[in-house]
Structure 1
């Protein structure tokens, strides 16, 4: 009956405790007011049976019900229709710069560094529904895989297609990857612009110095988070390509230019992270996700519909009915 209804003044329901007290009072009062006449025999009296005296107690029942309805009406029953409208007040444009050099096939992360990254990055992208995201690939050179877009299906499909290939020149051009990412974001009108640059090596290729690329990022107000990917010590990594096209793996010392990555992050106002395993990599992207929050303004509209009027009308009807019956049908019995 009261599904979907709320009561504004719930504390008034304590008044309902008066009803059983009034009922007890009525029973005691009725017993005291009933006159008794003791006689030896009813012979000579005409006995008539009438149901009206028995129904006179309905008058008090009407009064109790009316009082209960009035208390419920005072508690202000009402239905609430809530409509919500959200507005993104601060959008973020993000470019993910991904190292796709052969060393990203190292197996110190499962199944390898590149596949582990793709899995974690996909979850990150799915968790940013209000932001625009783009992808940049780099090895010895760099290029834009996907321009910044709000279409997450396109970004996820492009991310899934990323793999090592021999088309891109070998090496690790961190400066080129960062510069290409800056180029994608420099004309962005977003309130916040972010680059997430991941590498598993040292800068050994490209014609743009990483420090110059960092200065460009600062000039355009672009924050850069850098991630060094790879275990500490030795890792099972590709060392040469066999005649059948497959890689031969060997134990290789993991070398990451952490000083350079820390400097890039510090200069641009970002942060450096080191991912040595799958769990740590996932935690890093979770932390970046928390650091870069899109501000969303939510508007709630409340539409209240009062439900006390029918209760008051019904209570009034019962009181009026009691009054009429008391002064007509039950007049001679009260």
Structure 2
């Protein structure tokens, strides 16, 4: 009866303490309620009647009725909440991913590209109200997934990001320019590019500075991430006879100044990820920096449940009055 019930006036439950006082009073005064007669023997009286023994039931019926009235005064009610959300500031995000062979280096576990895909997947799942697209780049660049609100499509596309589909190399300007092209016609109030690379710009026919100027012109903020440990890393250097990569220690070269310039010019920020934890922390920080504004409206519907308690109290009081004035009349 009290399942999923809340009380509008729970302070009235303090009145239940008075019932304990009534119980104590009844315990000490119960013998005074009946007239007494002193006689030498009770052998001539029948002891079979149960009515005198049931008389305390009347007191407890009244007690339960008073307790029900207290519960009714506390106003038990059920609460139904309906929620409506409204996105007031949408964000369109393009993630530009370097897929050159150096992304297979093993200074991140199991390698840079696999670590990125895992962290980027978590980032996508945390942006339910934004549209996200993917761009891959090496010597060339192309749109892996246009900006979409369907996160399942984006996550499947991210899982399919692999090395070998593009000619090896690093064209940062091409990757940034393609990302700008995906966002330039967006009507979103905020447009963001997350550009990740582990090398230096060594190919492509669009200069990174030119691509950055385009991002500025279209009001697109760019966060840049340099991926790779400091010093050297176990990186692919050649192919074995079976087609697998041969690995050797290679110097990690990242054009950090270029990435800082791109981020600074567009109003973004540059990050350096030297291991898995730092890469995860970077995406967490970007997630906090780029917040989607959401209005949430809650509608409350209350249904009062005090009436059954009032009816219970009235019923008990009526029964108690009737029994007291009929069956127990001669004993009072």
Q: Confirm or deny a common fold (TM above 0.5).
A: yes
What is the CA deviation profile of residues 71-115 of structure 1, one whole-angstrom value per residue up to 9, with x for unaligned ones? Answer: 111111112222333333322211111112222222222232222
CA-atom RMSD in angstroms: 2.4
Counterpart for residue 266 of structure 1: 264
Q: 1:51 to 1:122 in 2, by over 3 A?
A: closer
Counterpart for residue 182 of structure 1: 180
What is the CA deviation profile of residues 175-232 of structure 1, one whole-angstrom value per residue up to 9, with x for unaligned ones? Answer: 1111110010011111221100011111222222212211211221211110001111
Aligned with 1:202: secondary structure?
Answer: coil
Q: 1:40 to 1:295 in 2, by over 3 A?
A: same
Q: 1:242 to 1:51 in 2, by over 3 A?
A: closer
Counterpart for residue 296 of structure 2: 298
Q: Distance in 2 between matches of 1:33 and 1:232?
A: 94
Counterpart for residue 22 of structure 2: 22
**Cα pair 2:34 2:331 within 8 Å, conserved:** no
Alignment of 1:198-277 (within 5 A): 198-241=196-239, 245-277=243-275
Report the count of equivalent residues.
332
Q: Distance in 1 between matches of 2:100 and 2:290?
A: 28
Where does structure 1 lack aligned partners over 5 or more consecutive residues? none
What is the CA deviation profile of residues 46-88 of structure 1, one whole-angstrom value per residue up to 9, with x for unaligned ones? Answer: 7686444444433322221211111111111112222333333
Q: Distance in 2 between matches of 1:42 and 1:248?
A: 113
- Give the TM-score taking structure 2 as reference length: 0.90
Q: 1:142 to 1:318 in 2, by over 3 A?
A: same
- Greater shift in the superposed pair: 63-72 or 97-106: 97-106
Aligned with 1:281: secondary structure?
Answer: helix
Alignment of 1:98-247 (within 5 A): 98-165=97-164, 168-241=166-239, 245-247=243-245
Aligned with 1:119: secondary structure?
Answer: helix
- Give the TM-score taking structure 1 as reference length: 0.90
Q: 1:279 to 1:29 in 2, by over 3 A?
A: closer
Offset at residue 244 of structure 1 (A): 5.3
Q: Distance in 2 between matches of 1:46 and 1:103?
A: 109
1:3 aligns with 2:3: yes
Q: 1:330 to 1:286 in 2, by over 3 A?
A: same
Offset at residue 311 of structure 1 (A): 1.0
Where does structure 2 lack aligned partners over 5 or more consecutive residues? none
Aligned with 2:106: secondary structure?
Answer: coil
Q: 1:330 to 1:235 in 2, by over 3 A?
A: closer
Aligned with 2:139: secondary structure?
Answer: coil
Q: Distance in 2 between matches of 1:94 and 1:110?
A: 26
Q: 1:320 to 1:168 in 2, by over 3 A?
A: closer
Aligned with 1:206: secondary structure?
Answer: coil
Q: 1:29 to 1:259 in 2, by over 3 A?
A: same
Alignment of 1:62-73 (within 5 A): 62-73=61-72
Q: Distance in 1 between matches of 2:96 and 2:45?
A: 109
Q: Distance in 2 between matches of 1:308 and 1:71?
A: 10
Aligned with 2:235: secondary structure?
Answer: strand
Q: Distance in 2 between matches of 1:65 and 1:248?
A: 85
Aligned with 1:121: secondary structure?
Answer: helix
Aligned with 1:270: secondary structure?
Answer: coil
Q: Distance in 1 between matches of 2:275 and 2:42?
A: 105
Q: Distance in 2 between matches of 1:72 and 1:235?
A: 72
